[in-house]
Structure 1
Amino acid sequence: MADHDIFKTAFRTHNGHYEFVVMPFGLTNAPATFQTLMNNLFKPYIRQFILVFFDDILIYSQSMSDHVVHVSKALQVLADNNLFAKLSKCEFGVSQIEYLGHVISSQGVTTDPHKIDSMVNWPIPKTVKELRGFLGLTGYYRKFIKDYSTIAKPLTELTRKNAFKWNTLAQQSFENLKKAMTEAPVLVLPDYSKRFVIETDASALGMGAVLMQDNKPIAYLSKSLGVKNQGLSTYEKELLALLTAVKKWRHYLIGQPFVIKTDQISLKHLLEQKVHTALQHKSLCVLLGLDYTIEYKKGKENKAADALSRVQGQNWHMELSTADLTVVSEILPSWIQELTQSYTGDSWIDELKQKAALNSNDPNPLYTYHHGVLRFKGRICIGNNGTWRQQVLQSLHDTSIGGHSGINATYHKVKKLFFWPQLKQSVHDYVIACHTCQINKGEHVPYPGLLQPLPIPPTAWYSVGLDFITGLPKSQGKDVILVIIDRLTKYGHFLSLTHPYTAANVAQLFLDNVYKLHGIPQNLVSDRDPIFTSLFWKELMNKIGIQLNLSTAYHPQSDGQTERLNQCVEQYLRCMAFEQQKKWMKWLPLAITLPSNSPWV
């Protein structure tokens, strides 16, 4: 206890007046204070090989030799801070452990049999409080029970105000829930050498999903739809179910190819569809950077997700952090083995390993070496042996994520994740030698003289730039792109049109994609295209209250920001649709990430 807080713990007994000099149980802030202490002490090791929940310390390792080292480090931290572990409450070197009400083993994660016995022997509730106690205990394990909300629905309805009346339906639900708890399956551990499969489905009132490998469940998810989302179309509900599942299990999916199975066949062509709604924009942002394939599966074959989607009532979520269990149960991915091969015979790597070993007790070390992966300031170090560096450059330059960006943009993307000596020179040499870039990119030289830039807008979507990209080959019936860019954040919309188009067509796109999503801008910067100089356009902008700023005739530098973005979009589409130029519409939705991912735009 802090000296100035000791008097607050005073209490009187028949033997006299006493005060606590160490933190006792029962104080309001005691749990949070103790958890903060444990987190700070074990900060260098948490989620590396240690998990801490109050006084429960879990140490996990890949091998017994590593485990001995990890246990020694944990005990040393306790000894250095005058904390003590009771030997009778400790277990060492076990392959199965009870932790936070779960049994964790090499087979997977399952329920604690002692907790299940308590549920099975639970007496019939006589009051709402007793019923809530039973539902609270069973609800902790609902991630193991398919259709938990459906089974428990008659009981949850009795918890409403003045609704408690035990009947036959409630008794049947009570018994079925006990039975379901005794039959809870083992949720298998994720194996990163195998492909993940997500099955999703949505119904009128809810949505559900199952994460699987080899047709064995890793996790269930079921969520009811609110009043707002119940009014969505079937397509939008299915898309919402897909997004919810991907966001929930994203930590499993990053860097891994996976399959999404849905009974909405139109979602197979998600990347090729026109982007009209905010939900579609959101879906592309969530899925961007993930290696996924969407497959169609008939509803009658998609039984697990279909059943979960029909759950009504409270949401079914994992009460215990899935990320924590992932760390405990993580199987060493195959890419780590390939990465460690690049370290073979590299003297630079050997030198850094020695530095990492010397700094192992540093709370914020520059170098770390864990599970065979060497990191510098959190970035993965790649050795000179093998083709790993080439693969990284190819992935962050040649793919849709890289978009054949320039040297600086590619360098910043690689630099965020990886590190090796002379990284910038490696990126420079790779981009300069890229055959696709040499064919499709133009030459940029500094403009002579001093330019007078437009004033910087004070807020996002205060000032907007508009322009057209024309002369494109027809793709899905479209041959024009309307570019709309926020001049402060550089966030843009790229909307397809068919020539000939009218000012009314452009105005409708502007209202749907700017006014609805971002509000009314204060001014609009554009060139002197006939659309923007037409009487209709001027009157419309005047009625809405937007000031028109037209650039100087035959002087595109007046709106250089929009013109430069046009070049980037054209360059991106040329590179990505290089072999099939009439399929540029497939890549247009992904071009929205260019401004935010490229520091030079």
Structure 2
Amino acid sequence: MIITAVETLARFEKDVKRTDIGFLAIATEVENDGEKASETPEKIKELLKEFQDILPDDLPNELPPYRTHQHEIVEEPGSKPTFRAPYRLSPTELTDTKKQIEYLLAKGLIRPSTSPYGAPVLFTPKPDGSLRMCIDYQALNKQTIKNKYPIPRIDDLLDQLRGATVFSKLDLRSGYWQIRKADNSIHKTAFRTRYGSYEYLVMPFGLTNAPATFQAEMNHILRPLLDECVVVYLDDILIYSRDMKQHVEHLRRVFEILRRERFYVKLSKREFALEKVQFLGHMVSAQGVHVDPKKIEAVRTWKTPKNVKELQQFLGFANYYNRFVPQYAKIAAPLTNLLKKNTPYKWEPKHQEAVEQLKQALTSAPVLILPDPERDYVIEADASDLAVGAVLMQDQGNGLQPIAYLSKKLHGAELNYPIHDKEALAIVIAFKAWRCYLEGRRTTVYTDHCSLKYLKTQPNLSRRQVRWIDFLETHFHYDIPWQVVSLDFITGLPPTTSSHDAILVVIDKFSKMGHFIPTHTTARTEETAQLFVRHIISQHGIPTTLISDRDPKFTSKFWKELMSLLGTKLGMSSAYHPQTDGQTERLNQIVEQLLRAACKDDISKWDLHLPVLEFAYNNATHAATGQTPFFLCYGRHPLTPQKPTTSATVTPVTFRLRLPATWKIHNAFHVQLLKPYRDPNTIFVGRQPPPPTPVLVHNEPEYEVESVLAHRRRRNGTMELLIRWKGYDPSEDSWVPESNMGNARRPLHDYLVKQGVTSTTQL
């Protein structure tokens, strides 16, 4: 006696013929319907009783009604009827064929056929051990024009479940058989058996366009509820709600539609009012989505692939859940390399290690939260020699949590990219893959490669980098100037001839642009509001947030009512803690310094100097942004009062400038005291100005050294120094031989002092 484990009845019969005797055990998974029913809320039970007519134990003995979508088979021009001889079947399969034909005839789902078409019958095992009769329509499918109706993306469906806490899942009873065949296509579904030829009056399994037809009908009848409380994937209908009361109402609306359209639900597979539910290979709950535990057990017991086909099956399974696995492409790289053309299938320890790593990653996969479109996102990107990866995260009140992982194996020329390009590629790939989430939302990107912050400003870019910058520019979210504004008063100033003794200082938090508005300390709240409207709102619009101290003017009922009507949120600095409004406090100090310098002769007219001082401040480079407030606000530099011009060259390193007559200084300057003038109108917005031109020494160009950063000695003994060039971006740092430092001894001396030596020979 030999006991064997078999997958199909045909295999079992073959083993019995070979060994004369055998035993067949069929293991089935039994659901405890009684326990599940006892947990079903009473309101759900009452609802099921009310709609018992659409929850039958079997389909009615009649054809389904004509629906909006009927399944039609449209063949390519010139196609001929397809015909294939019947397959040989085992006695068990023949018996089952006869039973299923009798069942289908009794239900009116098939009828005898004289069609020139004919497809053979085959069987596949069901999960419960029984056999499912299928028709092999491969030949017919090859010459059928494909219906391109979109089947939903699974990740899109899962994203719709955010915020839901109660779930119910419906499974239609033989859903395909509830769609009729178009009259002109019935004869094309003919199948042949030893008991005769028959053709389907309803849509059978196995036709290439059947999923598209079924999905189209489901979307049509449930369209009012889609993405509101229902998601549909073929015959799987998932109803989701935020609470039980809402869920009962949602179920009722779905049942009413199914009753109206005469669709029947399989009650034996009911799953109602669950806190978490299995859907399309995932387990969904209020906490998020994770891998179905049954799938985890399947991957845990997966045998080592013995050939390319088995490896493809394993990778296909693992790739379905790649969004749960950090660095999936990097881990799977040894396995995917085995699938390359003309690569022999030779299993090595590195391949087994990759399989075990994937199994471990899948069995310990994290719970992924579902994205909230109203919150900001965070991306962490990284790259290795073989792959790039990223993780999309969001803070929904419990700190940063992952939404999805992404990885991509590098191919061809990508493998030769320098590391900073690989890091940039990871960011670009992440933005492309998650565009549907990120577009229109503020996104913060973290990368561990410091040089990427110079990507947009370095003067020399490859075409590849230009493409990436152009792509990212369309997705970057910029703060809008004059949305967050702070204001304060400078008081205690001497009265002017216009009775001004105070200044209202207003600053934009983003661009640092300021306005200096003369006023007086006795001004009422209404007068201050008029100044704010005249000088700020009229020029820049209504701000969303206004930050100020607790001056009585800003805490008055009138001021609060005005800001409420404008839709502006008020933010007050803490008492005895002016750092809360530090930008305005610092600007007050700057304004006072400017006034002292401008009003040496006549302090009674300091208010007349404010427009010029405001222009000077807004046209000066701000240390925090590296740009002028004027440029950040308007995207260009203003014209300056006078362009400096040279009148003569005294020596190769000395120039004579044409200066205003009021400047009481000598007009000859050494080149080190001058900077090249660049017309602001010739500089592109957002682009760094061109670097300084070299100095001609003995008619040879030389660049000025700012500092020496590092040193190295090559194998041939040559000492090289890493140079930071004056006026150039850090990305332009380069190695030069020590012998080229003849005219830059000072930076070299400073570097040697830092190293504690007196000569490069001691390095």
TM-score bin, normalised by smaller chain: 0.3 to 0.5
What is the TM-score when the length of structure 1 is the normalising length?
Answer: 0.47
- Name the structure where helix makes up a greater proportion of residues: 1
Tell me which of the two structures has the higher relative contact order, counting C-alpha pairs closer than 8 angstroms and 6 or more residues apart: 1
What is the TM-score when the length of structure 2 is the normalising length?
Answer: 0.38
Larger CA Rg, structure 1 vs 2: 2
